[in-house]
Amino acid sequence: MLQLSSVLQQFEQQGFAGLGAEWQRHHAYHLQQVRLLFPDGREQHGEVQGIADDGVLLVATAQGVQRFSSGEISLRGAH
């Protein structure tokens, strides 16, 4: 519980930017090929590049690096 309190305090002071490096160390799909599934049935394929300072997922697609932030997106491995 003490660690959670510390992380929440850091988030309050620095926003997501203060937690980004740790997030990337633990993110299962970092630099991996993925499929993003949208509620309307669309799919987007690409490679996870990381996360922006505001917490938005960055994915390299055929159209370039795109930002994804919707809680409605399902992220899956490309296999």
Looking at domain 2-77, its CATH architecture is: Roll (2.30)
Apex 23 CA angle, 18 and 29, nearest 5:
150
Q: Is the pLDDT of residue 67 over 90?
A: yes
Dihedral of CA atoms 55, 73, 46, 17 in degrees, nearest 10, equals: 0
Question: What confidence tens digit (pLDDT) does each residue in 30-45 have?
Answer: 899 999 998 888 899 9
What is the per-residue pLDDT across 20-29, written as a single tens digit (0 to 9) for each? Answer: 778 778 888 8
Provide the whole-model pTM: 0.75
Tell me, what amino acid is at 40? D
Could you give the CA distance from residue 11 to residue 26 in angstroms, rounded to a whole number? 17
Sorted by where each begins, the domain ranges of the chain are: 2-77
The DSSP annotation for 16-60 comes to GGGTHHHHHHH-TTTT-EEEEE-TTS-EEEEEEEEE-TTS-EEEE
